Amino acid sequence: MNSKELIKQAEKSLTKEFEQIEDIRDFNQEKVLNAFIENKVAPEHFYTVSGYGHDDLGREILDKVFADAFKAEKALVRIHFASGTHTLACCLFGNLKYGDKLVSVAGSPYDTMQEVIGTAGDDETKRSSLIGNGVLYDEVPLKNGMEIDFEKLEEKIDETVTMVLIQRSKGYSTRKSLSLETIEKICKIVKSKNPNCICFVDNCYGEFVDTKEPLEVGADLIAGSLIKNPGGGIVEAGGYVAGKEIYVDRTANRLTAPGIGSEGGAMFNQHRLIFQGLFMAPSVVCDAVKGAILAAKIFDEIGYDSAPKYWEKRTDIIQNITFGSAEPLEHFCRTIQQLSPVNGYVTPIPEYVPGYEDQIIMAGGTFIEGSTIELSADGPLRAPYTAYMQGGLNYAHVKIALSKILDKVAK
């Protein structure tokens, strides 16, 4: 059986899974559409002001649309966030001060966040970190390295804990990404032990994968990147924060300055792209998830371990494929690169990337640099040599790429 026949056969067996994902898409598309209609989005909201960025009506409406879409009291949507890590860091530094305590509930967060917190990095990096600025830190180790340890979580949370960090997606780990049901259970335990503790969810890769968002199951604050799910593959840069007004305002003060907060910052005529990207996001995320499910089904059938499995409920767009050694991991990423619309002629090589301890190989021939809602793959060169595949602006592109990968990897 050739690769195209294998894919067609897999698609026929995935009818139920695809229908479920499409139902989620339809629900989320209506939710986003209603946010636009309720806030009376109009062409004048696509234009921005210069200089200080004061009295920017489009920016104000953009924040309101995001707030409604994510069921938040307030949102902060800005191109000034350099990355998802920067967005999360602003939330942490804005809401934590000297002597406050942060607890990570799912073991160590991913590598870049370890440097923000201060558990990794050189001396100068640690000096600028949360710990370097007097914030206390603890974490709840994963049970068997895979699951949330709810008993340990209950033991760790008391009146001294100011905030818990809940990383929805797995990062470069083999644990499962956190479902909304798990996030809800975490929030309930935390609030039962300390009602004033801030439940902060790193929502990267998880937006619009389910019919609800973390704020609807008990979280106080969420954050993510606009070059991931909510940007629909067309937003050029930025991040968003949403949640309770006081926590969003504190984050805004960290991004700009106390006294400026969310009232300043020219947006350089990016409003329309962000509005349009959000509107497209449910459909783009749906195609990315369908591509991930297809990949899981196919790679399981040819003998590689995939996670999550094709039948498992999704909570983010990331698909793990474990190869067991460096060579097939590198080959997989290079094939993804060759089948990219941009820079398809270049060859990825492993290298050290700021914020990561191991060499990383990255395949990302994307229109937006670093975009992970576009088809991309990466992985650290360390055991068990797992590729993290994500994205796909359209399902057809993912199918084409998988077909070509099968022609090579399956040999």
Residue 280 has, within 13 A of its CA and on its CB side, a CA count of 20
| Cis-peptide into 308, omega within 30 deg | yes
Percent with pLDDT over 70 in the chain: 99
Nearest to 312 by CA among 21, 24, 29, 28: 21
The whole-angstrom separation of Cα 115 and Cα 120 is 5
Percent with pLDDT over 90 in the chain: 91
Q: Are 395 and 291 in contact (CB under 8 A)?
A: yes
What tens digit of pLDDT does each residue of 85-137 get? Answer: 999 999 999 999 999 999 999 999 988 899 999 999 999 999 999 999 999 99
The whole-angstrom separation of Cα 31 and Cα 36 is 9
pLDDT of 409: 64
Residue 243 sits at φ, ψ, to 5 deg, of 155, -150
pLDDT of 407: 84
pLDDT of 410: 56
The whole-angstrom separation of Cα 387 and Cα 391 is 13
| Cis-peptide into 384, omega within 30 deg | yes
301 by Cβ neighbours in 10 Å (0-12 / 13-18 / 19+) ranks as middle
The whole-angstrom separation of Cα 221 and Cα 103 is 15
Query: Which domains are present in the chain?
Result: 3-27+280-409 (3.90.1150.60), 38-278 (3.40.640.10)
Residue 80 sits at φ, ψ, to 5 deg, of -75, -15
Please count the other Cβ atoms lying within 10 Å of the Cβ belonging to residue 366. 21
Nearest to 112 by CA among 356, 352, 353: 356
Please count the other Cβ atoms lying within 10 Å of the Cβ belonging to residue 309. 11
Report DSSP letters for 365-402, one per residue: --SSTT-SSSSEEEEESSTT-EEEEE--SSHHHHHHHH
What tens digit of pLDDT does each residue of 188-229 get? Answer: 999 999 999 999 999 999 999 999 999 999 999 999 999 999
What b-and-e string marks burial along 85-98, b requiring 16 or more CB atoms within 10 Å of the CB?
bbbbbbbbbbbbee
What b-and-e string marks burial along 311-342, b requiring 16 or more CB atoms within 10 Å of the CB?
eeebbbbbbbbbbeebebbbebbbbbbbbbee
The overall pTM is greater than 0.75: yes
Q: Are 95 and 84 in contact (CB under 8 A)?
A: no
Please count the other Cβ atoms lying within 10 Å of the Cβ belonging to residue 124. 9
pLDDT block averages, 10 residues each, the chain of length 411: 90 98 99 99 95 96 99 99 98 99 96 94 96 99 94 98 98 88 99 99 99 99 99 98 99 98 96 99 99 97 94 97 93 95 96 82 94 95 93 97 83 56
The whole-angstrom separation of Cα 131 and Cα 118 is 5
Going by their DSSP bridges, the two strands 239-243 and 221-225 should be labelled as: antiparallel
Structure tokens at 27: 């629900």
